[in-house]
A and B are shown apart, each in its own frame.
Chain A
Amino acid sequence: MEQQNTSRRKFLGQIGGAALVALSAEAAWASLRFAKAPVSYGPSQRRNLGQVGRFAGGRVYVDDAGLFVRHDPKGLSAMSSTCTHLGCTVREAAGGGFVCPCHGSTYDDQGHVTGGPAPRDLSFVRLIRDARGNVIADLAQTVAGDTRLQVG
């Protein structure tokens, strides 16, 4: 009888302990889930770059979108100026190509890595045109480097 009582107490204790562990895990998961919102409260990822004529002069840097926009015979492309190493903004190097001021990654004119710690080439983002003919960049969507927006 005594033996039985002890083991029942032990069993209930183990159930309680397991419930406590499960509760803690659930609370931790819920906290993380709460903190990672499914929406962005920052500025829109879609940026209006203006009319096509603006990019007639070869390569133009669009400051507020952080994009190098190039107009070649095949169309428009937009290369991100965000370094693929740790996210600093690259700048045009004196001898052509791009250099990152934070840790010295270098890229050529096409955005291919030529040196430094950068793990990937600079990314390109999707360009579309709206009904008024404005060029819109979607910073959230990356595309292959040879993708072009056909412009008339």
Chain B
Amino acid sequence: MGKWLQGIWKSVWRIGWPQDERSAVKAMLSSLVLHVHAPKIRPESLKFRASWAAGLISLVLALQLTATGIYLMFYYIPHPDAAWRTMKDLAFVVPLGTLTRNAHRWAAHAMVAMVTLHMVRVYLVSGYKGARQANWVAGVGLWFLTLALSFTGYLLPWDQLAYWAVTVGSNMAAAVPFVGDDFRQLILGDRSVGESALLRFYVLHCVALPAILFLVVGFHLFRVRKDGGLVVSENAPGGGRGEEGHKLVPAWPHLVYRELIVALAATAVLLALALWLQAPLEPEADPSRTPNPAKAPWYFLGVQELAHYSAFWGGVFVPAATVLGLCLLPYMDTHALGVGQYLPKERRIAQALFGLLLLFMAVTTVIGTLFRGPGWALMWWPQ
């Protein structure tokens, strides 16, 4: 009997718990999940400075968002008559409903921050050069998908904030030259934000965008593995091709355990946030009354601040030029100097330009978030 049970166990876990380096390598290669990593990796890539764990935490958050999102879908009804009411049900009736919604909300905010941080780090270490050009573009796509998921998810609570943020956002789409009005009608399925828009955003948010996101994530991770793992400086021990370069460490347990700890820590922080901070819910959407001021979530407030000057230049041109510029970057900046270093002297101009872009985004976001009051007027004391 014991042997029979052992046989079932062995049919699933064929390698067994790794006992030595040889079986650790075997375990890494024979597992669907574990073989996203090479069986042996450079020790330098284990250090915090090599990754900031930003990509891994982004993935953990995407999985947490999927799990909490599925729970929320058990109760949510994507119709203007019912959507806001189900938010109240989650808050007052459903056991752990508030916790689930809070976790989903804060994980979404954190994912935008972590994906952006991940992109900043990869830029700094020139992780878009050589074989990694296309994978950088895939990463820009994932960043865009993350923002699209936030934007579509933002409408679903159907409160005043949701309704007006999406009204403003979809009217920015209408500022696209020539096809703007058609484009907005395509997104909203109607002339203004209503039941068609809510249903479309729901389907995009829960089915289409996550499916595309995880497909691209698969490609993204596969390419990282094929391109030799994390970008490590040629000068770092174990980074070059010399004698030192061959001192690799097995990914099991060194990398796998570290990743597990990071995943658990990220989940613990998320749970703590969900327990302490309540996700806001404003009064039910009212198409005839705009709240004053009407603000998008913080990561879109830089764009909203620019749109305040001009719907086309701020709301369409600057965001489109940013995404296009990021996609073209690996094909314009191609020299291989200073790869793997954070502040190499060969890249002073590139780093300065990128620093200016980040500063611009940060300043517009801070102004839009803290220093804009009713009627979008400047105010010196943050509310």
Residue positions of A touching B, CB distance < 8 A: 32, 35-37, 40-43, 45, 63-64, 66, 81, 85-89, 91, 99-104, 117, 119, 140
Q: A87-B171, A101-B290, A102-B290 are in contact. Are A35 and B311 (CB under 8 A)?
A: no
In the assembled complex, B172 has its CB within 8 A of some CB on chain A: yes
Q: Which of A32, A41, A42, A66 has the most CB of B within 10 A?
A: A42
Q: How far is the CA of A104 from the CA of B170 in the complex (A)?
A: 18
| A and B contact pairs by CB, cutoff 8 A, 26 listed | A35-B186, A41-B194, A42-B190, A42-B194, A42-B196, A43-B194, A45-B191, A63-B288, A64-B288, A85-B311, A86-B311, A87-B170, A88-B164, A88-B168, A89-B289, A100-B290, A101-B294, A101-B375, A102-B164, A102-B290, A102-B293, A102-B294, A103-B376, A104-B308, A117-B309, A119-B311
Q: Are A42 and B288 in contact (CB under 8 A)?
A: no
Nearest-neighbour CB distance to chain A for B141, whole angstroms, equals: 17
CA distance A33 to B201 in the complex (A): 18
Q: Closest residue of chain B to A87, judged by CB?
A: B171
Cα(A81)–Cα(B192), bound, Å: 14
In the complex, the chain A residue whose C-beta lies closest to that of B184 is: A87
| Chain A residues, Cβ within 8 Å of B383 | none
A86 lies within 8 A of B195 (CB): no
Instruction: Give the docked Cα–Cα distance between A71 and B376 (Å).
Output: 32
A89-B290 in contact (CB<8A): yes
- Give the shortest distance, in Å, between B288 (CB) and chain A (any CB): 5
| Chain A residues whose CB sits within 8 angstroms of the CB of B376 once the complex forms | 101-104
Give the 10 A-B residue pairs with the shortest CB-CB distance, closest first.
A101-B292, A42-B194, A86-B171, A87-B171, A104-B376, A103-B308, A89-B290, A88-B290, A104-B375, A42-B190
B266 nearest CB across to chain A (Å) = 35
In the complex the two chains form, what is the Cα distance from A66 to B288 in whole Å? 6
Nearest A residue to B287, CB-CB: A66
Other 4 A-B pairs with CB < 8 A, given A99-B375, A101-B292, A104-B308 = A66-B288, A89-B288, A89-B289, A103-B304
- For chain B, the count of residues having a C-beta within 8 Å of the partner chain is 35
How long is the Cα–Cα vector from A120 to B197 in the complex, in angstroms?
Answer: 26
Is B291 in contact with chain A by the CB < 8 A criterion? Answer: yes
Please give the residue numbers on chain B whose beta carbons come within 8 Å of chain A beta carbons, in ascending order: 164, 167-168, 170-172, 182, 185-186, 189-192, 194-196, 287-294, 304, 307-311, 315, 374-377
Q: Chain B contacts of A88 at CB under 8 A?
A: 164, 167-168, 290, 294
Partner of B192, one of A36, A42, A104: A42
Q: Are B289 and A42 in contact (CB under 8 A)?
A: no
Decide: B308 and A42 in contact? CB cutoff 8 A: no
- Min distance, Cβ B148 to any Cβ of chain A, angstroms: 15
With A64-B288, A87-B168, A88-B294 already in contact, the answer to whether A41 and B196 are too (CB < 8 A) is yes
Taken together as a complex, chains A and B put the C-alpha atoms of A32 and B289 apart, in Å, by 32
**In the complex the two chains form, what is the Cα distance from A117 to B377 in whole Å?**
12
A75 → B minimal CB distance (Å): 25
Residues of A with C-beta under 8 A to B311: 85-86, 117, 119
Nearest CB of A to B151, in Å? 15
| Set of chain A residues within 8 Å of B307, measured between Cβ atoms | 86, 103, 117
Q: Return the contact of A36 from the options B168, B182, B375 (Cβ within 8 A).
A: B182
- Interchain CB contact under 8 A, A40 and B190: yes
Task: Return B52 CB to nearest CB of chain A, in Å.
Answer: 36
In the complex, how many angstroms separate the beta carbon of A64 from the nearest chain B beta carbon? Answer: 6
Q: How far is the CA of A43 from the CA of B192 in the complex (A)?
A: 10
A35, A64, A102, A104: the one within 8 Å of B168 (CB): A102
**Interface hub of A45, A66, A86, A119 (most chain B Cβ within 10 A):** A86
CB nearest neighbor in A for B199:
A41
